Amino acid sequence: MCRQCGHQASITAGTIFDKTRTPLCVWFAAAWYLTNQKQGVSALGLQRVLGLGSYQTAWTMLHRLRRAMVRPDRDKLSGHVEVDETYLDITDRQSVTNSSKRKSNTAKLLIVIAVERLDPKGFGRIRLRQIPKEAEAHILPFIQESVEPGSKISTDGSAAYRSLAIAGYDHQPHVMLGSETPAHVSLAGVHRVASLIKRWMMGTHHGAIQPNQIGSYLDEFVFRFNRRTSRSRGMLFYRLMQQAVVTDPITYRDVVALKPRKSA
């Protein structure tokens, strides 16, 4: 309570824990479990482990924690960066009106991927974002927000990348048509990451993700991938908690009504 005006406020106000009815000790247990599972965790799995009363509570907690996995002031990718796109098959399951049955619609979502290449081999950090179509108007802003100017960028021969040199990047296009070198060799990083994303989506979440919420899942994948070499799982928990107290709150209704947004 403010001593001057008498206004009352919770210590969790302005954080992802705002107005939660779940005890903070349960939130901390959820964050610890989430960061310690190498392949992530589904809402049903979290509900079972923590003994939560409803699936909806577990589902909302995970989405709030995913929102806190993005640090706005993080460093951009640099050095040698690969950029390419891939499609994700997402199963949108909806209840049929006036029936207990459910119907499934498969949506193809276009994802743009940026991956740091390390010398002499290996990959560094990544960035992901859903875009509506393969066009310069969507890909160039993603690159400018994700990659330091002056970096070397390897892409395929798509016209969507034709302005990279003008934008201040060392653009190295690889025309795949008629090339003796297959795409998965020329752009090994993005193909590896694309394969891992699809395997993770199907393995942990069984591909059953609402298309309008794909950004939150991409945030989680980036958070995990960029910290895959960390020897301390406790550090991942610590970083997540650091972000949790400075991330704006989001409610269940906010999550359900999410529109496609910029991702990690």
The per-residue pLDDT for range 1-30, each reduced to its tens digit, is 888 888 888 888 889 998 888 999 999 999
Domain boundaries, the chain: 80-227
More confident site: 258 or 264: 258
Residue 95 pLDDT class (50, 70, 90 cuts): very low
- Structure tokens that stand for 171 in this block: 């653009």
Looking at residue 96, what is its pLDDT? 41
- pLDDT tens for each residue of 158-211: 999 999 999 999 999 988 766 666 677 788 999 999 999 999 988 888 777 888
Whole-prediction pTM value? Answer: 0.86
- Looking at 3.90.226.10, 3.90.1580.10, 3.30.420.10, 3.40.50.2300, the CATH number of the domain 80-227 comes to 3.30.420.10
